[in-house]
């Protein structure tokens, strides 16, 4: 089935294919990531979505040159999610070329397949099915990197056992100190009617954080719409997870992410600037992990691991997944 609007997509099946995939970032391959980005950033791109019980192909097309259509994943800023899902994804894409050509009326195509494991089956199959007729170009920049994650096997105690002794000691000390200060935590799995109000509370915290004060937080145009729509999407399936940290009837911090099966993908966390010395960011991470362990989650994905701002993730994770993207170019 080929569809052109998100309303026609079988999101249940899409989530299942993303969860079953061996993509480095399964959550970013799901509708909870791809559709909010498309709606908030690139909704002028023409969607091409082809779906069967076993495969899913996600593309948005736009004219990159007078005789060339570029076909990207719906999320084409970070290229984290895989837009060709299913066991025989490369073959499915190859067999869909006639439908793509019919919709976009162009012989010159540049098709981006993102969120790949560089050594995975899909990458090998793309080489097999497209090397004769297409130039296969490895993308650089932000489309190539490392994603990090932590196993939650063995629950909270098992998680702590995989941290360094120094990290374990610091987490326990920070949790005790914040508890003694009187900070409380609220856990939220919002339903659709609650999503916007909860997001507004998160945004109010962000605006008081060092990121918000510097104009670098999730309040930025486009970014704020992306995360608001993501929370709405997750609330439709009960997969949103939000913790609010409170002190004396005031919101002072939050952590936010979403589930895909038994995998949790972290999205954003923040805390008000006057609590910057209070280790609220670390205790929110710890409280989130304890909650996930109680729910039986088996993996916590923290996203990209590159640049000085992401170094803190080294303390919370022990698994690394290389990620890459390619462009299939037919002139």
CATH number at residue 97: 3.40.630
Has residue 4 got a pLDDT over 90?
Answer: no
Q: Give the Cα separation of 321 and 296 in Å (integer).
A: 22
Cβ 271 vs Cβ 280: under 8 Å: yes
Express as a percent the part of the chain with pLDDT over 90.
88
Q: pLDDT digit string (tens) for 154-174?
A: 999 999 999 999 999 999 999
226 and 281 part of one domain: yes
In a domain, 54, yes or no: yes
pLDDT surpasses 70 at 279: yes
Residue 46 within any structural domain of the chain:
yes
Based on the domain organization, do 207 and 141 belong to the same domain? Answer: no
With 0-12 / 13-18 / 19 or more C-beta atoms within 10 angstroms meaning exposed / middle / buried, residue 238 is exposed
Examine the domain organization and report whether 64 and 175 are in the same domain: no
Mean pLDDT rounded to a whole number for the chain: 95
Residue where the block lists tokens 């170019």 = 329
What is the domain count for the chain? 2
**Are both 17 and 89 inside the same structural domain?**
yes
CATH number at residue 213: 3.40.630.30
pLDDT at residue 106 tops 90:
no
Q: What are the start-end ranges of the E strands in the chain? A: 2-3, 46-51, 55-65, 68-72, 84-86, 108-116, 135-138, 145-151, 184-188, 240-247, 250-260, 263-271, 299-304, 319-330
Q: Does residue 206 lie within any of the structural domains? A: yes
Predicted local distance difference test score (pLDDT) of residue 42: 65
Position 304 in a domain: no
Does residue 205 belong to any structural domain of this protein? yes
Confirm if 2 and 49 have CB atoms less than 8 A apart.
yes
Whether 89 and 57 share a structural domain: yes
Say if residue 118 is in the same domain as residue 159: no
Same domain for 172 and 286, yes or no, is yes
Q: Is residue 318 part of a domain?
A: no
231 and 278 together in one domain: yes
Residues 168 and 63 in one domain: no
Domain that holds residue 282: 153-297
192 and 123 part of one domain: no
In-domain check, residue 87: yes
Structure tokens that stand for 178 in this block: 């914040």
Q: What is the pLDDT, as a whole number, of residue 314?
A: 94
Do 124 and 162 fall into the same domain?
Answer: no
Token pair in block for residue 294: 């109680």
| Separation of alpha carbons 57 and 96, rounded Å | 9
Same-domain status, 248 and 134: no
Mean pLDDT score, 84-88: 96
Confidence of residue 121 (pLDDT cuts 50, 70, 90): very high
Angle, CA of 32, 302 and 323, to the nearest 5°: 80
Mean pLDDT across the stretch 100-122? 92
Give a yes or no: residue 211 inside a domain.
Answer: yes
Least confident of 6-10, 136-140, 147-151, 235-239: 6-10
Specify whether the CB–CB gap between 172 and 302 falls below 8 A: no
Strand pairing of 299-304 and 263-271? parallel
- 3-class DSSP state for residue 184? strand
Q: What is the CA radius of gyration of the chain?
A: 21
């Amino acid at each position: 089935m080929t569809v052109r609007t998100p309303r026609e997509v079988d999101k249940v099946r899409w989530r299942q294919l993303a969860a079953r995939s061996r993509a480095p970032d399964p959550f970013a391959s799901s509708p909870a990531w791809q559709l909010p980005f498309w709606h908030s950033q690139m909704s002028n791109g023409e969607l091409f979505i082809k779906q069967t019980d076993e495969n899913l192909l996600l593309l948005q097309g736009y004219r990159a040159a007078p005789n060339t259509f570029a076909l990207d994943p719906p999320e084409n800023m970070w290229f984290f999610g895989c837009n060709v899902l299913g066991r025989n994804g490369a073959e499915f894409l190859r067999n869909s070329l006639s439908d793509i050509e019919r919709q976009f009326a162009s012989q010159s195509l540049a098709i981006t397949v993102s969120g790949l494991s560089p050594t995975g089956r899909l990458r090998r199959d793309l080489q097999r099915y497209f090397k004769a007729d297409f130039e296969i170009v490895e993308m650089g920049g932000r489309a190539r990197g490392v994603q990090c994650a932590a196993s939650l096997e063995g629950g909270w105690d098992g998680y702590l056992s995989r941290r360094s002794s120094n990290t374990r000691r610091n987490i326990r000390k920070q949790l005790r100190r914040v508890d003694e200060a009187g900070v409380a935590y609220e856990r939220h799995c919002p339903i659709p009617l609650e999503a916007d109000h909860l997001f507004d509370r998160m945004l109010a915290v962000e605006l008081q954080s060092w990121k918000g004060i510097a104009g670098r937080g999730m309040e930025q145009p486009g970014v704020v719409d992306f995360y608001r729509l993501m929370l709405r999407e997750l609330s439709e399936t009960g997969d949103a997870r939000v913790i609010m940290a409170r002190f004396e009837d005031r919101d002072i911090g939050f952590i936010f992410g979403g589930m895909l099966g038994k995998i949790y993908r972290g999205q954003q966390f923040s805390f008000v600037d006057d609590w910057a010395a209070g280790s609220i960011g670390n205790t929110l991470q710890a409280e989130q992990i304890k909650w996930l362990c109680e729910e039986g989650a088996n993996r916590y994905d923290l996203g990209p691991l590159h640049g000085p701002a992401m170094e803190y993730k080294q303390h919370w994770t022990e698994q690394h997944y290389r990620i890459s993207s390619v462009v299939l170019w037919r002139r």
